[in-house]
């Protein structure tokens, strides 16, 4: 784990956040209500944007990221509880959450299928599960470029993969995908889902 990554993350993201991401984040976070699970909260960049949540349980495995998120947690409009956990092994009871949010996380989680199964488990039937993720692009030349860059990108960006088909993984997890919005020619997707009724 690169110790520089947590320190540089907000700075590196600033241009994209200012241009577009803040609006995208605000839109998806306004849909998260009731008791909310946030997966891989990082530096807490989403914390100030929650408006309709009763309470947010934010999980994050990296202690340096957690420390950077504390001031945002303290100034948030809704109660935020941070837990040092990994998405593949959530320490919450079945059917705890009304909503779940993951932004720019499924590129990095070592075992995305296990994490999706865990999110489904801890969410109530019909819970809203909201993703904002960068994914493998459909355009073949761009997808090839992502494959070529991936090894060096992973090393620089703390295990982040450029070539994951996160939409397919979500579909295969059994979540019901209700809406997909594409940004930057399909590099970024907002994926809105509903948890299934627990029958699979």
On whether the CB atoms of residues 119 and 100 are closer than 8 A, the answer is yes
Q: Is 167 in the site for ligand SAM (CB under 6 A)?
A: no
Binding letters toward ligand SAM, positions 103-142, x by CB under 6 A: xxx--xxx--------------------------------
Task: Identify which range of 39-47, 49-57, 165-173, 175-183 contacts ligand SAM by CB under 6 A.
Answer: 39-47
For residue 190, give Cα distances in angstroms to 39, 71, 92, 135: 15, 27, 25, 10
Min separation Cβ 148 and ligand SAM, Å? 21
84 alpha carbon, distance to own chain's centre: 15
Between 62 and 146, CB nearer to ligand SAM: 62
Min separation Cβ 115 and ligand SAM, Å? 6
**CA nearest to 132, candidates 76, 192, 72, 85:** 192
Min separation Cβ 136 and ligand SAM, Å? 16
On whether the CB atoms of residues 85 and 61 are closer than 8 A, the answer is yes
Binding letters toward ligand SAM, positions 47-76, x by CB under 6 A: -------------xxx--x-----------
Between 99 and 108, CB nearer to ligand SAM: 108
Count CB-CB contacts under 10 A for residue 188.
19
On whether the CB atoms of residues 89 and 118 are closer than 8 A, the answer is yes
Between 15 and 125, CB nearer to ligand SAM: 15
Judged by CB under 6 A, the number of residues near ligand SAM is: 19
Min separation Cβ 190 and ligand SAM, Å? 12
Contact set with ligand SAM (CB under 6 A): 39-42, 45, 60-62, 65, 86-88, 103-105, 108-110, 160
């Amino acid at each position: 784990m690169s110790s520089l990554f947590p320190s540089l993350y907000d700075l590196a993201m600033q241009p994209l956040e200012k241009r577009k991401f803040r609006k995208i984040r605000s839109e998806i976070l306004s849909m998260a209500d009731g008791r909310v699970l946030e997966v891989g909260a990082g530096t807490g960049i989403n914390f100030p944007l929650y408006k309709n949540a009763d309470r947010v349980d934010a999980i994050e495995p990296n202690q340096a990221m957690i420390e950077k998120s504390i001031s945002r947690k303290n100034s948030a409009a809704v109660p935020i509880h941070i837990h040092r956990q990994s998405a593949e092994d959530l320490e919450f009871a079945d059917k705890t959450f009304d909503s779940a949010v993951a932004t720019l996380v499924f590129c990095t989680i070592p075992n995305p299928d296990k994490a999706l199964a865990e999110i489904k488990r801890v969410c109530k039937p019909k819970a809203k599960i909201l993703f904002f993720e960068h994914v493998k692009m459909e355009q073949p030349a761009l997808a090839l470029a992502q494959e070529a860059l991936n090894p060096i990108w992973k090393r620089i960006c703390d295990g982040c993969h450029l070539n994951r088909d996160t939409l397919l993984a979500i579909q295969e997890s059994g979540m019901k995908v209700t809406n997909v919005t594409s940004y930057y020619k399909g590099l970024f997707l907002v994926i809105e889902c509903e948890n299934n009724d627990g029958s699979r």
